[in-house]
Chain A
Amino acid sequence: MHSLLIICRQSPANGTLAQSAIDAALAAGIFEQEIAVAFIGDGVKQLCSEATQAGKKNLAAQIQALPLYGIEQIYVDNIALTNANIDAISLQDLPHKSISSTQLRELMNDYDHVITL
């Protein structure tokens, strides 16, 4: 069994890859694999409160559900978060850690497999 890091870097408005990344994370959760999810770049927009993402209600709800699937390691790129101007309110319910790009590099070293979508 390998540990898995899923990096989400797509805006939810841009195709279906954002949804696929969360699907992969949930599937890995069901398989009880050691897994972490990191939101970087445009990917932080997936964490917006539901109202700001027209038609993507489901995705935000699924991200909120990640801890229920045993995914405790959730990382968010703090610089991208500031740039995207996302209010911290939508992140309050989600237990997560803020990381810098240096820490992200260390994170990638710590995991056996990395899936970047």
Chain B
Amino acid sequence: MPGFFFLWLSYLSGFFSAAHQEYDNEMKFALLITGSPTQSQACQSAVDFCRAALSTGHDIYRIFLLDKAAELAHQHCDNRPLQHEWQTLQKNHQLDIIACVNSAREFQISDKNNLANGFVISGMGQLIDASANADRLITFGG
């Protein structure tokens, strides 16, 4: 019986130290998404990744939407449930979600008319800044 107890204790301490280690190796992530919100899995995978990273104590430095992913920032994006997921996450964690200005123009998105809440339009410099400051840069392609 004491043997069992010891085993259980060592399992428990292992569990806690593993959890502790996770918080110790806290990282700053930057995400680059290029896949379309309607025709690819990229945006969904990215929001799942964000949620998982935030819930384990990591930090999301910035999310950069390039090319077809910029459609996500359109007020009338065809994938509203996914857009809503992003907006909720953005609101709860004050995420910095940037749509590339050139790509936004392709979708006729402008910050005065039809930019969805929680998104910002900016230039390529924001991606370079994210790469300079984040520990890891992860691309979700189409």
CA distance A28 to B34 in the complex (A): 19
CB <8 Å contact, A27 and B124: yes
B53 on the A face (CB < 8 A) = no
Contact A31-B129, Cβ < 8 Å, known A16-B103, A20-B67, A20-B103: yes
A105 on the B face (CB < 8 A) = no
CA distance A20 to B65 in the complex (A): 12
In chain B, positions 64-93 with a C-beta closer than 8 Å to chain A are: 66-68
Query: Interface size bucket, B side?
Result: 20 to 34
Which of B43-51, B113-121, B131-139 lines the interface with chain A?
Answer: B131-139
A116 on the B face (CB < 8 A) = yes
**CB-nearest residue of chain A to B30:** A113
CA distance A92 to B51 in the complex (A): 48
Query: Taking the nearest CB of chain A, how far is it from the CB of B35, in angstroms?
Result: 11
B128 on the A face (CB < 8 A) = yes
Q: Which residues of A contact B131 (CB under 8 A)?
A: 2, 4, 28, 33, 113, 115
Query: Taking the nearest CB of chain B, how far is it from the CB of A47, in angstroms?
Result: 21
Q: Which residues of A contact B128 (CB under 8 A)?
A: 4, 24, 27-28, 31, 33
CA distance A19 to B125 in the complex (A): 15
Number of interface residues of A (CB under 8 A): 21
Q: Which residues of B contact A33 (CB under 8 A)?
A: 128, 131-132
Query: Taking the nearest CB of chain B, how far is it from the CB of A59, in angstroms?
Result: 13
Which B residues are closer than 8 A to A by beta carbons? 32, 34, 66-68, 100, 102-103, 106, 123-125, 127-129, 131-132, 136-137, 139, 141
Return 27 A-B CB contacts under 8 Å, by A number.
A1-B132, A2-B131, A4-B128, A15-B67, A16-B103, A16-B106, A17-B34, A17-B66, A20-B66, A20-B100, A20-B124, A24-B127, A24-B128, A26-B124, A27-B125, A28-B128, A30-B125, A31-B125, A31-B128, A33-B128, A33-B131, A113-B136, A113-B137, A115-B32, A115-B131, A117-B34, A117-B66
Which A residues are closer than 8 A to B by beta carbons? 1-2, 4, 15-17, 19-20, 23-24, 26-28, 30-31, 33, 113-117
